[in-house]
Structure 1
Amino acid sequence: MKTRYLFLFFFIQLLMPHALKADSDTTQVYRLPIFDNINSTTWVHVKHGFEEAAKLNADVIIVHLNTYGGEVIFADSIRTKILNTSTPVHVFIDNNAASAGALISIACDKIFMRPGANIGAATVVNQTGEQMPDKYQSYMRSTIRATAEAHGKDTLITKNDTIIKWIRDPRIAEAMVDQRLVIPGLVDSSQVLTFTALEAIEYNYCDGLADNMDDVIKQLGYQNYTIKSFEPSLYDNLKGFLNSPMLRGLLILIIIGGIYFEMQSPGIGFPLAIAVLGAILYFAPLYIDGLAANWEIIIFVIGIALIALEVFVIPGFGVAGVSGIILTITGLTLALVKNVAFNFENVDNSDFVEALLTVFLGMSGGIILTIYLSNKLITAEKGVFSKIALKTSQDVNLGYIAVDNTLSALIGKTGIASTVLRPSGKVLIEGEYYDARATDHFIEKNEPIKVISYSSGQLNVRQYVQKL
C-alpha cells in the first residue's frame, strides 16, 4: 500500500512541471469592445479596460472596433493611451473605423479587418456633419500623421542604395483628413481617403483579413490562449455620462440657474436644492478621478457664499461679489484640469482653455437662460408656471383690508432707508420702522425716500431728491 502511494506521489511530481509549463504557455488575450460613437463614456471604458488588463498581466490587448467616429478630444486621449502602453495593442475592425475610429486604429500595433470593412474619412465635422474650420483640420492632420509616424520605418538595403520606407505612410493617414492632399495613383483632390480592407492591405494599413477574434489571435501567432472581455459596470456608464463636456456645461447652467432663482425668492427651497444637486453631479466624478481636489471644491463653495453675502447682507456690489465670482470660476475650472495644487506643468494649454470655455459658456448660458425662463415661464401671463405665481394684489380701493389701513396716511411723507431696498426692505419715517418696497430701482441704506403709495400692508417708496 505504501509503495502504491509513493509511486503516485512521484508521478504527480513528474507531471506538475508540465502542467505549470502549459499554464505559462497560455496567452492571456484582453478584448476591449468599442461599438458606439467615441465619447466620454468610451474614454472611461478604455481607461478601466487598460487598468484591468494590467492587473490580469494580459499578454496582448485587442480592440474590437466598429464605429462611425465621435469626439476628437476623446479619440486623441485613447490613441495616446494606446501609443504609451507597453502591452501590444492590436485592433480588429469589424466593419467600420471611420473618423475618430481611424485615428484609434492607426495607433494600434497591427490592424486586422473583416472582409468588406472600411477605414478612413477622418475629417473633423460638427454635430450637423458640416466640415469644421481649417484650424481644427490642421490639428487633426498633425495628430493622425504623428500617429502613423509613431510606428517607425523599414530599412531596405540594396546593391546601389538604402531605401527607407514608412511602415505606415504618414501622407496616407493625412489624406484621410485633408481632401486637398493628392497621392498619385491613390487619391485626387476631390475626396478624403477611405480604404476598403483589400486596399488597406495593399498600402500597409491592414495586416490581415479576419472573420472573428479567433482568426485575429491565430494570425498573431497565438495557439493556446484565453480571452477576457471588458464588461462595463453601471458605474462606468454613469461616470462616462457625467464626464461629458456638454453635460458639464449643462450642470454649470443648472448651478447658476438654481442660485439665481433662489435669490429671487430667498429661503431654502427647490431652486437651491437643484443647484446643490448640480454641484454634486459636477464635482463627484471629477473628485473620484482625482481631478477635483478638496481645496478646489472649497474654493467654489466660498465663492458661492461670498456672492450670497454680497446680495443679501452687504450693500452695493463690491469686493465680496467680485471675489465670489472669481473664486467660483476658479473652482469650477481647476476641477477640470490635471493640476497638482498650483503646479500646471502637466496641463496642456488646450486643456486649460477648454476647461475655461466650458465654465464661461455654462455660466453665461445659465444666466441668460434663467432670466429668459423666469420671464417666459413665471411672470408671463401664459407662462407654464404662471398659475403658481402670485401676480395680483388685494388693493384697498377694491375693498380688501387685510392689515391696518392707517398706513395710507404716510403717503407723501419722507424718511430714510434703514436697510438696502432690493427692492424690499425697511424704512424709517418719523421715528417708526415700516416694511417698504422700492418701485423704481434699488435704494441704498440711509438714502432719503418718499412714500408714493400703499398696498398689501407695504409702503411703496422711491428715492427722494430735494429740490433747491
Structure 2
Amino acid sequence: MKNFILFLSSILLTGVVNAQDSLTVFYRIRLDQDIDKAAQRLVVTGLEKAAENDADYVILDLDTYGGAVDAADSIRTALLRYPKPVIAYVNLQAASAGALISIACDSIYMKTGSSIGAATVVDQSGKVMPDKYQSFMRGMMRSTASATGRDPHIAESMVDTANVLSLTPEEAVKVGYCEGIYEDEVEVAEAVSGDKEFVIKNMEDDMTWVDRLIQFLLNPLLQSIFMMMIIGGIFVEIRTPGIGLPLVTAIVGALLYFAPGYVGHLAEHWEILMFVVGLILIGLEIFVIPGFGVCGISGIVIVVISLALAMVDNVEFHRWDGTFSLEPVLMPLGIVILSATAAIFGSVWLVRKLYTTKTFDHIALRQEMKASEGFTGVVSGLETLVGETVEVFTDMRPSGKVKTSDGRILEATLKFGGFASKGQPLKVLSAEQGRLYCDFISA
C-alpha cells in the first residue's frame, strides 16, 4: 500500500512539472515615456526581473516619441545582449529613439494605427542636428538592423533628413519590419506561443516602492530642481558663510540627485567622489583659507563637471577607444550651466524677496540704533593701543582676534599678511574702524 501511494504521488508530481514546462511565460515591460535615464533604468531593471521570473519571452510595450540618444543606445545594447527573445509591441508610436529600440528587439508587432520610424536626430527645440550626428545615428540604425536580421538600408532611411521614413503597420509588414498586426499583447502572446498555454506577467506587479521612488526621482525636471538646490545652496553659503539652511539645502539636493543614479547603477563612484572633492575645496575656501581664490574656483569647476558627468551614460566611458570627444558631455554641461544660472538668480531674488516680508521681521533686527542714543557700530578708543603688544587669541589667517593687556578681545588683521598662531605676541601698528592692524615682533 505504501509503495502504491509513492508511485501515485510521483505520477501526479510529474504531471505538475510537465504542465509547468508547457506553460509559456511572457514578461511585459511598459515603456510609454521619453527615452532618458529613467527609461533606461526601467528597461534594464525589467530585463533583470524577467530573468528572475524565468520568462520565455519579454514583451516591450512601446509608445514613445523618442528622447536622448545615449539612453536609447544603452537600452539597445541591453536588448541585443539579452539571451531570451524580446518582442517589441508598438502600441502607438515608436518614433526616433523608439524606432532604434524596436529594431533592437528580436521581433516587432504593431497595433492598428501605430507607426515606426522618423529617427532623425534633433535638439530639444526640434531643430535638426548637424550631419555628423545624423551619420552616427545612421550607423547605429544599420548595425542594429543587421544584428536582428533586418534590411539595414530601410533602418538608415529612417534617419534621412531630406525624406525621413516612417512606416505604418501594413508597410512595415511588407518590408519585414513587422511580424504581424495585433490589437493587444494577449493577441501577440497567442500568435507567438501557438497551441501552448501562456501567462503574461507585468513588471508593474514586481516593482517595489524603492523602484518606484527611484523612477520618480530620475525625472529630468526633478533632476534639474535638485541641481538648482545644490548650486543655489552653495552660492548662498559662499555669500553668507556659516552652517545653515543653504548648506543643508545643497546637501539634500546632492543626495536626491546622486542617490537614484547610484542605486540604479547610472552614476559611478568616481563621479560622486569628484563632487565630494569639489565640496571639500569650496569648504576649505569658506572656512579656512581667507578670501576666494584658486581653491574655491577649482571646487566650483569640479562640482559642475561632476554634475554633468553624472548625466552622461557610463557606456560612453566603458567603451573608450583612446580618443576624447566632448560631444557626449556638451548637452549635460549646458543643462548644468543653465541650472546654475537659474539657481544663482533665483537665490538672489529669493533672498531679496524674503528680506521684504513681514515674516523676516521676526528673525532680523531692523531697528535703527542711533549714535545720539549711545549706540556705536565700532569699538572706540583703539588709537591708544598703537605701539602696544597684544596676544593672538584665535589663529589669524590673516584676520582673527587678539587679547590686550587689559583683557579685551578685539578684531585684528596682520597688516602685511601671513599667519599667526594662538598665544603669539604681535605689535599694534594702527587702528582703523574698530580693527587693529598688527605685525610680528622682530627678534
Whole-angstrom distance in 2 between the partners of 1:284 and 1:83: 28
Among 72, 88, 97, the alignment partner of 2:69 is: 72
For residue 194 of structure 1, what is the aligned residue in structure 2? 166
Among 22, 47, 56, the alignment partner of 1:25 is: 22
1:326-353 CA distance string (max 9 Å, x none): 764676567667889xxx6555789995
**Aligned-pair CA distance for 1:294:** 6.0
For residue 260 of structure 1, what is the aligned residue in structure 2? 235
Whole-angstrom distance in 2 between the partners of 1:367 and 1:201: 49
Whether the aligned pair in 1 keeps the contact of 2:308 and 2:329 (CA below 8 Å) is yes
**Aligned-pair CA distance for 1:358:** 7.0
RMSD over aligned CA atoms reads 4.4
1:394 aligns with 2:391: no
Whole-angstrom distance in 1 between the partners of 2:306 and 2:387: 44
Whether the aligned pair in 2 keeps the contact of 1:249 and 1:359 (CA below 8 Å) is no
| AA in 1 matched with 2:356 | S
| AA in 2 matched with 1:273 | V
For residue 173 of structure 1, what is the aligned residue in structure 2? 155
Whether the aligned pair in 2 keeps the contact of 1:415 and 1:427 (CA below 8 Å) is no
**Correspondence 1:87-236 to 2 at 5 A:** 87-152=84-149, 168-180=150-162, 191-223=163-195, 224-231=197-204, 232-236=207-211
CA gap of 1:63–1:415, structure 2 versus 1, over 3 A, is: farther
What stretches of structure 2 of length at least 5 have no aligned partner? 420-427, 438-443
Whole-angstrom distance in 2 between the partners of 1:267 and 1:253: 20
Whole-angstrom distance in 1 between the partners of 2:218 and 2:68: 13
**Aligned-pair CA distance for 1:53:** 0.9
What stretches of structure 1 of length at least 5 have no aligned partner? 153-167, 181-190, 454-458, 463-468
For residue 378 of structure 1, what is the aligned residue in structure 2? 351
Whole-angstrom distance in 2 between the partners of 1:404 and 1:245: 49
CA gap of 1:436–1:372, structure 2 versus 1, over 3 A, is: farther
**Correspondence 1:42-61 to 2 at 5 A:** 42-61=39-58
Whole-angstrom distance in 1 between the partners of 2:309 and 2:34: 28
1:301 aligns with 2:276: yes
Identity %: 40
**Aligned-pair CA distance for 1:46:** 1.0
Q: Give TM-score, length-normalised by structure 2.
A: 0.76
Whole-angstrom distance in 1 between the partners of 2:337 and 2:410: 38
| AA in 1 matched with 2:68 | E
For residue 423 of structure 2, what is the aligned residue in structure 1? none
For residue 39 of structure 1, what is the aligned residue in structure 2? 36
**Correspondence 1:248-397 to 2 at 5 A:** 248=223, 250-290=225-265, 297=272, 300-316=275-291, 320-321=295-296, 324-325=299-300, 328=303, 345-346=318-319, 353=326, 357=330, 360-361=333-334, 364-365=337-338, 368-379=341-352, 383=353, 385-387=355-357, 388=360, 394=368, 396=370
Whole-angstrom distance in 1 between the partners of 2:229 and 2:322: 27
Whole-angstrom distance in 1 between the partners of 2:116 and 2:170: 11
Count the aligned residue pairs: 416
Whole-angstrom distance in 2 between the partners of 1:429 and 1:357: 57
**Aligned-pair CA distance for 1:133:** 3.0
CA gap of 1:299–1:170, structure 2 versus 1, over 3 A, is: closer
**Aligned-pair CA distance for 1:206:** 0.9
**Aligned-pair CA distance for 1:301:** 3.2
| AA in 1 matched with 2:115 | N
Q: Give TM-score, length-normalised by structure 1.
A: 0.72
Whether the aligned pair in 1 keeps the contact of 2:232 and 2:347 (CA below 8 Å) is no
1:343-391 CA distance string (max 9 Å, x none): x655578999578557754664465445434543434xxx354343869
Whether the aligned pair in 2 keeps the contact of 1:121 and 1:176 (CA below 8 Å) is yes
Whole-angstrom distance in 2 between the partners of 1:218 and 1:350: 49
